[in-house]
Amino acid sequence: MRHPNDAATNPAPVLTSRRTVLALLGVSAAGAGAVLLRPAHAAASTAASCAGLDDPAKKEIAMKLVSSAENSSLDWKAQYKYIEDIGDGRGYTAGIIGFCSGTGDMLDLVQLYTDRKPGNVLAKYLPALRRVNGTDSHSGLDPNFPSDWRKAAQDTAFQQAQNDERDRVYFNPAVQQGKTDGLGTLGQFTYYDAIVMHGDGDDPTSFRNIRKRALAKAKPPAQGGNETTYLNAFLDARVWAMKQEEAHSDTTRVDTEQRVFLRKGNLCLNTPLDWKVYGDSYHIG
């Protein structure tokens, strides 16, 4: 995704040609309204009753949820080797969280991998990654960078580097902010999914400004507000942000995923979970 200090919005990573078409055409889905129904999970009424999203079982659920939207698959570990340029102006998008050659986080990842394992198959591309940062250029990367990325993805050291950069840049900050705001597991996940797609820069559609937009409408539990009311305000702000960019204008990852869990009162993101993204149905038992 986007480097947290980069002002350009970063796209969701794309695995299939269908996702490429979505990114290029900006397929739009009708947004679902913020309807509050009686909670179905009585024990999930407060964040205090929930395991954090950093609980290993909950984190695994989060990875699968994001992968369903990003890669049309629950098998998130199969995405270490993924790499493609979807023509969105951010160069190559790759790996489990959509690291981009044009937005800084791919450079940081390859640098970390090289610090840990000098002479790896991607180390020789560091000068080129520095040059193309901030652009969609493939200069110095083609023709062998994609095949070398896939080779590197077979190395457990590179897989661990991807995990660690995902956590450092996206997962840990989202969970920490969610806990600070008094949110349960679902709320922490809504933050994580937002920072994955939008990054946390200073632009209006970044995570911090989505949250700021929500705070103007409702208070989070840590400020004495109602958790469900606040999460609906956050999702409203998230949908607004997504619709500012054509490639993100399909909001089903909110409308038919996160809203579904929220309407059921499943603030602890307890299984079983059933949802849809881009019309495809998913289940975690």
> Is 1 within 8 Å of 105 (Cβ atoms)?
yes
Rounded CA separation 85/242 (Å): 20
Rounded CA separation 135/107 (Å): 13
CA-angle at 260, arms to 257 and 264, nearest 5°? 145
Q: Which residue out of 88, 165, 193, 227 is catalytically annotated?
A: 88
Q: Which residue out of 70, 105, 181, 236 is catalytically annotated?
A: 70
Known active-site residue 88: yes
Can the peptide bond before residue 143 be classed as cis, meaning omega within 30 degrees of 0?
A: yes
Q: Which of 270, 283, 198, 285 is nearest to 234 (CA)?
A: 198
- Torsion over CA of 6, 209, 172 and 268, rounded to 10 degrees? -150
Known active-site residue 70: yes
> Is 122 within 8 Å of 113 (Cβ atoms)?
yes
* Phi and psi at residue 263, to the nearest 5°: -65, -30
**3-state secondary structure at position 77:** helix
Catalytic residues: 70, 88
